[in-house]
Amino acid sequence: MPPPVPARDPGLQPERTRLAWRRTTLSCTVAAVLAAKQALHQGSSPLALVAVTLSGLVWLGFLAVAHRRIQTLSGGARPRVLGVRAALAAAGCTVALACFAVATLF
């Protein structure tokens, strides 16, 4: 007879993964705030406003990915595996912020 599936993982793996997503969201917030500060530093031209909006959108995108994943991880004791699309989106937000930094360097 197979052992019964426990209602919660004794190693708290989903919780730890959820907290890892929260930490990553915080890091993304810091990077996005620095990006917005950089854009405003250049003055309040229309270009700077576009830049601030873009960094805000990137941050919102990351927030959405993290939120969906956190919802999945809170769902039960055996959450689904992270999808490739979510992983690509998270990495894409990071790359977008970096490209944005390069654009404002010059």
Partner 1 sequence: MITIVQTLRLWFAPQRIGEEGETPDYRFSLANERTFLAWIRTSLALVGGGFAVDQFLPDLRWGVRVALALALLAAGVLCALRAVNHWVRCERAMRRGEDLPVSRFPTLLSLAVAVVAVVMVVVVVFGWAG
Closest CB 35 distance from partner 1, rounded Å: 6
Q: Which residue's structure tokens are 């620095």? A: 34
Confirm if 59 and 28 have CB atoms less than 8 A apart: yes
Instruction: Tell me which residues touch partner 1 (CB under 8 A).
Output: 9, 11, 13-14, 16-17, 20-21, 23-24, 27-28, 30-31, 34-35, 37-38, 41, 78-79, 81-85, 87-88, 90-91, 94-95, 97-99, 101-102, 104-106
CB nearer to partner 1: give 64 or 99. 99
Closest CB 18 distance from partner 1, rounded Å: 10
Closest CB 1 distance from partner 1, rounded Å: 20
Residues 6+ apart with CB under 8 A from 4: none
CB nearer to partner 1: give 7 or 102. 102
Exposure string over 77-103, b if 16+ CB within 10 A, otherwise e: eebeeeeeebeebbeebeebbeebeee
Closest CB 59 distance from partner 1, rounded Å: 11
Alpha helices in 1-106 (DSSP H): 13-41, 46-74, 84-105
